[in-house]
Amino acid sequence: MGKAYLDQAFQNVLTNGDKIFVPYIMAGDGGLDQLPKQIKLLEDAGASAIELGIPFSDPVADGPTIQEAGIRALEEGVGLNDILDVLIKTKDDRKIPVILMTYINPIYRFGVKPFSAKCSEAGVDGLIIPDIPLEEESLVADALAEQDIALIRLVALTSPKDRQIESAKRTEGFLYAVTVTGTTGERKDIKENVSTYLDALKEMSDCPVLAGFGVSTPDQVKQLSKACDGVVVGSKIVKSLHENDHQPIYSMIQAAKN
């Protein structure tokens, strides 16, 4: 488990000629007892890793679908410690890397070092913190490094080139390339300049580059994957699980296969 496990899992996918597919789910949406079942479903469907969202009251990067899932989880009384406890109990049952996506407030409230230690105990392999800038990531970077947990950096279409280069240089696990201007959520079309942007990031990064935000159809998975190493899909996955309609999940994961 840890950063090396995540790196190896992604390398295995790419060596096989496939593209990386990382589904996002909101932990506790539908009740925390559903989490192990949801992870197993996505693992069996062929996901490369799981991005696991932590419910939070002020999710600045999330669009309506994921915000609503977070509210449902919070109404179930689900918190960060509860989620980590479930991951600890089910650690030996998983055969897929787990990446947590959370904001800095829950980490800070938990305590950075205790949080990092418990993530390691729970078999967490990577961490995404969308509201911590490069200038402030020293708050968490050392504690995560001690536990061999990858700190995954995000880069935006609107980021200046020097910032894109710095994010690409520092990232671990993969470089998360945000492909829209705005929050998460389904989009009908992908902008023409996205391929050029992804090509440039590929040149900058030694880690895989994954496109995320706004990816919601098999065609979009295929289109974006041509310019990078794979995709992260959130809102469509969350919606499919909530509505108990799993076919869109299988179709999108299949679209990442060679």
51 is catalytic: yes
- Please report where in the chains the tokens 């410690």 appear, as a residue: 81
Alpha-carbon gap, residue 5 to 84, rounded angstroms: 19
Ramachandran category for residue 125: left, alpha or beta (phi over 0 → left; psi -120 to 50 → alpha): alpha
Token pair belonging to 52: 């696991």
CA-to-CA separations, 218 to 8, 53, 74, 156, 196, in angstroms, rounded: 25, 22, 31, 23, 21
- Of the residues 51, 125, 172, 229, only one is catalytic, namely 51
- Under a CB-based contact definition with an 8 Å cutoff, are residues 21 and 253 in contact? yes
Query: Locate tokens 């910032």: which residue?
Result: 163
Q: How far apart are CA 7 and CA 14, in angstroms?
A: 11
Single out the catalytic residue among 7, 18, 29, 62.
62
Catalytic machinery residues: 51, 62
